[in-house]
Structure 1
Amino acid sequence: MAYGSMFFWSTYPIFDNSVKKYRLPFLAWYPYNTKISPYYEITYVYQVFGIIFLATTAVSVDNLIAALNVYIGAQFDILCDDVLHLYDVTNEITNFSEKLIKCVMHHQLILEFAKNSNCFFNWIVLGQFFISGITIGITMFQLTTQVVPLTSEFFSLVSFIMAIIVEIFMYCWFGNEVELKSRNILYAAFKSNWIDTSKEVKKNMIFFILRCQRPLKMSALNLFYLSLDTFMKILRASWSYFALLYQVGSRK
């Protein structure tokens, strides 16, 4: 989606024949005249390579954040399976206790890794949420008031909006999956046959269950949780920005 948007942005002056007017893909100021050749062609290629670099960087960062969340979710799946089959592996109480301790340690390692990962992309996701919400609203306003429908520029803006929506959806979807998978640990603990274990093991199991009652929520500086609810809030905020701009623009 990102590279499709990049392609449309890089080529719409060609498809619209606005290259004859020496129009660049992006409005920018340069300390030389870009309306003459070969400065126009050089600047055009420079902007294309610039957008390729930015798109590649954005996709790489987004994939890294998604991969971190997928890894955390996979670790929760492994832990969930271990907790669920604590008593299935052996009937010896001592082994049950040892395996429970390993599960608790595994859970702590997952939480520590998730904390470090969250610290890594805190500011990235927070900035992306704010910028995306405003950008979607402004771009929708451009589509409805300033761009001729079904032109190359129109499709460029549409692909740009779709790329942003997919980007924030990736953040929210995988973050939401982490929360759901962390909740499964609690259910797996209840389903593991620990009723017939010793009093000490039962006590440890209760403490583990109490700890698992609070699901892991990935966030952006604890202001926004990465969840589908946050995704819908961003879209609603974008629509509010668009409605405000459209209302102000219609009065002029």
Structure 2
Amino acid sequence: MGLIFFTKFTKSLEDSNHPLLGPVLWSLDVAGMWKSNNNILSKVTMIQVAAVVTLITEFIELWFIRSDMGRALRNLSVSALSLSCVFKSCTFVLWQKDWRLVIDYASSLEKEQLRKNDRIVNGIIREYTKYSRNIMYFYWCLCFCTVLAMILSPLFIYWSSSEQRELIRNGSLPYPEILSSWAPFDKSRGYGYAVMVVEHILMCIYGSLTVASYDSNAVVLMTFFFGQLKILKENCKRVFIDDRNSQSVQRIFECHHHHVQLIKHAKILNSVLSPVLFLYIVICSLMICASATQLTEEGTTTMQQLYITEYLGALVTQLFIYCWHSNKVYAMSRTVVDGVYFSQWWSQGVRMRRNVLLLSGQMNKIIAFSAGPFTDLNISTFVAILKASYSYYTFLKQK
């Protein structure tokens, strides 16, 4: 029954105008980031304002508890993630014109390719569309499990130790919080605590929607560029499938134009992703370090260790997904030129070989996504982040 409902739900998300990105655009709309109005102020919703206010209160609380290393690390691991969510949401709204350029290009190109009914091209599109759906729904489930663990974390803390339960009951300890944030009233008991719980649950849900929609959109677009580079490679192989020079020249022009447009829109995507990914990498390094420190500190109960392990696993998985798909695009872009050399260029005349040489020069241009101005986003970067996080962790443990 559940499988039938899930199948119907996923089918309802499909959009003929956006063959690849239909479910992603639905999630962006639910998260309040996919706006049709060009006025920036009209794009800002109350929930986004509330998220910014909550983020400010988290950093205010961090200042007040800075002398308590354990509480400060717990606050930092969550407030850093909140900062990432707010930054993703705000930049997506502010730079939506550029996002629309890339999304509209992807949808229009795919519709044009599908209308031609090319067996090889359609097969590649079906392959990477199916893959995109799988990775997207997996990512949504990962975000759902993470936010559920965050919302239930006070219960984990409460039931993890009978000693803590007794201290909470007699008033020696405050009720455990979902997020660590400041409030201008007593948030440890009574109505104040109830208000903070409701606010934190709403912010967690909103943060989960933001992360799930933004990251799945970015990863699916990376998959689109990977698939289109694969299509381009196959088209380059078939440039000389007949002896008509006019048709061969037209196919060379189409391959050249296809690659130029992919380079152009990949640069646009990188321009809006790069600042976010730079901040995300810095935050991930801090959060992985903070989570590992909490996991190994004395007094951490088994229930708390399970929650921190799930949270840490989600962080590493999210970072790996970005690095892996960016690395796939980079690796495929380096092999596209092979399609030119696999064609029957050797059977052509001197003039046609010159055209082939120009085409190969264009295909040598590489698509690479970066995280800020300092590093490319690839598997090497992922390993370097884990090493840096471990270095920060060992430094903190020595203190």
Answer yes or no: same fold by TM over 0.5: yes
Q: How does 1:13-162 map to 2 (within 5 A)?
A: 13-17=154-158, 20=169, 21-88=174-241, 90-146=242-298, 148-151=300-303, 153-162=304-313
> Alpha-carbon deviation of 1:227?
0.9
**Could you give the per-residue CA deviations for residues 125-148 of structure 1, whole angstroms, max 9, x where no partner exists?**
110011101210121011111552
- Tell me the residue number matched to 1:242: 393
Take 1:177 and 1:215, find their aligned partners in 2: how far apart are those partners? 12
Q: Distance in 2 between matches of 1:28 and 1:186?
A: 53
Partner of 1:231: 382
Percent sequence identity over aligned pairs: 21
Paired AA for residue 4 in structure 1: C
User: How has the CA–CA distance of structure 1 residues 147 and 203 changed in structure 2, closer, same or farther, with 3 Å as cutoff?
Assistant: farther
Select which of 337, 342, 359 maps to 1:191.
342
Q: Which residue of 2 aligns with 1:163?
A: 314
Residue pair 2:274, 2:369 contacting (<8 A) in 1 also: no
RMSD, aligned α-carbons: 1.6
Residues 147 and 214 of structure 1: is their aligned pair in 2 closer, same or farther, counting only changes over 3 Å? farther
**CA deviation digits over 1:179-223, x for unaligned, max 9?**
122122111111001112121221121122233234221112342
Listed one character per residue, the Cα deviations across residues 15-51 of structure 1 (whole Å, up to 9, x for unaligned) are: 3325754221222221111223222122112111111
Tell me what 1:178 maps to. 329
Amino acid at match of 1:63: S
Runs of 4+ in 1 over 3 A off after TM superposition: 18-21
Match of 2:67 in 1: none
Q: CA deviation at 1:111?
A: 0.4
Asked if 2 retains the 8 angstrom alpha-carbon contact of 1:8 and 1:155, the reply is no
Is the contact between residue 157 and residue 176 of structure 2 (CA under 8 Å) also seen in structure 1? no
Within 2, Cα distance between the matches of 1:9 and 1:92?
64
Higher RCO (CA < 8 A, seq sep 6+): 1
The aligned residue for residue 152 of structure 2 is: 11
Q: Which residue of 1 aligns with 2:110?
A: none
TM-score, structure 1 as length reference:
0.92
Equivalent-residue separation in structure 2 for 1:23 and 1:16 (angstroms): 7
In structure 2, C-alpha distance between the alignment counterparts of 1:15 and 1:137, rounded to whole Å? 22
Give the Cα separation in 2 of the matches to 1:40 and 1:247: 36
CA distance in 2, matches of 1:143, 1:74: 40
